[in-house]
Amino acid sequence: MLILNTLIGWFYFSVLVFVLGVSLSRWTLLARLGEDDGLPRAFVDVVLIRTAIKGGFLLTVAMLMLFGRQLIAFRDPFVPWREDAWLLLRHTLWGSSWVVASVGCGLAVAVLYVRRSSGWNLATLLLLAVAAFPAFSGHASAVEGISWLSLSADILHVWAAAGWLGSLMFLMVLERSWRQQVSFTRSLLPEVMPKFSKSSMVWVGILVISGVLSSSIHLSTTSDLLTTGYGRVLLLKIVLAITVMGLGTLNWTTSKSDLHRTVTLEQLTRRSSKEIWFAQLVLLVTALLIQWSPPGHQAVGHDMSIEMLLIRMIGIGMFFYVAFFVLLLLFAIYLLKGSK
Amino acid sequence: MRCLKYCFLAVILVLTVAAFAFSKQSPLSYHFAVDKTVPAKDTSVVSVSQIGIWFTQVPQSNSVSIRLVDAEESLVTGVEFEADSADPTAFIAHLDSTLPVGDYKVFWRGIGQDGHVVTGDYTFKVSVG
């Protein structure tokens, strides 16, 4: 059951990160690129919509699998299945969160299907909201006293994972579609990779900060990393995540060289595929991790070691630092739009 | 290249298994669990006027289900567990009449604040005084 639960969790995380990544790359990578930059805009738009809709369907399937998993665990043999399902969906916090996320996912797909390119605003907002489901149905919601912090750190963590790895997965899909359908010889990566490298630096920063903050909330002391089951799996996740970041750094250095050279391009594509495979392992370990109860679920300052308190304070500080810059960036975008 | 991939996967597998093997905490041991019961687990009592379970945490509302079954695992009817208004971790069934002599099992299920569904059971015996 543990293996099946882990595989379902991995499938869900993987699809969620991918779908949100498609949506975020629409804004962070491809919004301002056009024919002048050597990018076939119409083709990219078609692939974006098609991939997001297909991914949205897969996400709905993943949500149904999560519900099935929860219902089997929730099963009371003395009442009919339908009664249990109704109770789970309508009368528990987990069920309410699941319903909201599923409806959001369905609406996002419907909006993209009906309104095509003009539906991206609403679809992205809906998908960002859907990505809050793991936080509201998991460990982050069980933290006493500072649940607002753990929830926002978890939500940011998912968004950042999608912005980085989901976007990279989409770029690989886009490249493959382009090679198969339009031009086998020309690549789109030289046009989009430099922008991806810049945006992924920001996403990785947010990913690390939110991860450190979440870990400081879920652990009571750094030795928990070695002495508890949750800590050990978290340590494995950290090691894998650092490996993915290392590969990302290699890709970043490659993307700074001349990407129009075939050898460099092939090297980049191969390394990006590796980065994605390693990232899938990180998601698999995350799916395993969430099945343990974290050792440090308590209010601030209670039974917490000094070093963990320090890590949490640094995490909170960095969290607000990032939030400040995001707000500043949004304000700058608002001013720029106003001046046009 | 393929060999390298398999080696890597093997390392991950070994690390994961090691994380399990050397862990004192089972992945299925959650913070949400039973703290105490009345009658106490695996005890023999002469008469029972109430059955109660106290959890270690407040469960998600409406997620708790508690069933009392007899030695044949048939549901004992008329035993309704309700949340204690003074203590939200407690679920108590007040019995109108005392239980007949025999073995009983209490099945419970609930969702912890972290979304984990946790289930369990315990037994007690009603014996002749």
Which pLDDT score, from 0 to 100, does residue A300 have?
47
Nearest CA to CA, how far is A36 from chain B (Å)?
39
Most B CBs within 10 Å, among A10, A69, A92, to test the B interface: A92
- Report chain A residues whose CB lies below 8 A from the CB of B19: 229, 232-233, 235-236
Interface check B89 vs A, CB under 8 A: no
SS3 B114: coil
Residue B1: pLDDT band (50, 70, 90) is low
The answer to whether A267 faces chain B, any CB pair under 8 Å, is: no
**At residue B31, what are phi and psi to the nearest 5 degrees?**
-65, -30
- The percent of residues in chain B predicted with pLDDT above 70, rounded, is 76
- Residues A218/A221/A227/A231 CA torsion (nearest 10 deg): 30
- Name the strands in the sheet holding B82-83, side by side, starting at the edge strand that comes first in the sequence: B34-38, B50-55, B90-94, B82-83
Q: Which two tokens stand for residue A328?
A: 């500043």
Give the closest of A137, A228, A293 to B23, CB-based. Answer: A228
Torsion of CA A104, A109, A114, A118, to 10 degrees: 80
Q: Which residues contact A293 (CB under 8 A, 6 or more apart)?
A: A139, A230, B25, B29, B30, B31, B32, B112, B114, B116
For residue A297, pLDDT over 60 is answered with: yes
Over range B9-16, report the average pLDDT.
63
Tokens for B108, please give them: 């419970």
- What ipTM, to 2 d.p.? 0.80
Where would I find the beta strands (DSSP E) of A77-158?
none
Task: For residue A117, give the DSSP letter.
Answer: G
pLDDT in tens, A127-177: 999 999 999 999 988 887 778 888 989 999 999 999 999 999 999 999 999
Bridge partners (DSSP) of residue B44 are B125
Long-range contacts (CB closer than 8 Å, 24 or more residues apart) made by A33-37: A33/A191, A33/A192, A33/A195, A37/A191
Task: Provide the pLDDT for residue B9.
Answer: 66
Q: Which two tokens stand for residue A20?
A: 């949100």
Interface residue A210 vs chain B (CB under 8 A): no
pLDDT reported for residue A17: 97
- Residue A193 half-sphere exposure toward CB, CA atoms < 13 A: 25
For A107, A220, A260, A298, A312, the CA distances from A316, given in Å and listed in that order, are: 34, 16, 42, 16, 6
What is residue A338's three-state secondary structure?
helix
- Residue A159 is predicted with a pLDDT of 95
* B10 against B100, higher pLDDT: B100
A232 touches chain B (CB under 8 A): yes
pLDDT tens string A216-249 = 888 888 888 888 888 989 999 999 999 999 999 9
B117 vs A281: CB contact, 8 Å cut-off? no
Provide the residue ranges of all domains of chain B, joining segments of one domain with +.
Answer: 28-126
In A, which residues are within 8 Å of B25 by CB distance?
228-230, 292-293, 295
Q: Which residues contact A158 (CB under 8 A, 6 or more apart)?
A: A16, A17, A20, A131, A132, A134, A135
A281 against A35, higher pLDDT: A281
Please tell me if residue A139 touches chain B, with a CB cutoff of 8 Å.
yes
Token pair, residue A3, equals 């293996």
Cβ A259 vs Cβ A268: under 8 Å: yes
A37 C-beta neighbours (distance < 10 Å), count:
12
Phi, psi of A57 (to 5 degrees): -65, -45
* The pair of three-digit structure tokens given for residue A274, joined into one six-digit string: 């590796």
Going by C-alpha positions, the residue among A280, A203, A202 that lies closest to residue A241 is A280
Mutate: best of B2, B79, B111, partner A, most A CBs <10 A: B111
| Helices A147-161, A2-28: crossing angle, 10 deg rounding | 70
Report the residue from A92, A137, A281 with minimal CB separation from B12: A281
Q: Which of A33-47, A266-280, A289-303 has the lowest mean pLDDT?
A: A289-303
Task: Summarize the confidence of residues A197-213 as an average pLDDT.
Answer: 90
Tell whether the model's pLDDT for residue A37 goes beyond 50: yes
Angle at alpha carbon of residue B30, lines to A303 and A216, rounded to 5°: 40
**Residue B53 confidence (pLDDT):** 96
In chain A, % of residues over pLDDT 70: 95
Backbone phi and psi for residue A207, each to the nearest 5 degrees, phi listed first: -60, -45
Query: Hey, what CATH topology would domain B28-126 get?
Result: Immunoglobulin-like (2.60.40)
Cβ–Cβ under 8 Å, residues A210 and A157: yes
Name the H helices within chain B: 2-21
| Residues of chain A with C-beta less than 8 angstroms from the C-beta of B62 | 87, 91-92
Q: Can you tell me whether residue A323 is helix, strand or coil?
A: helix
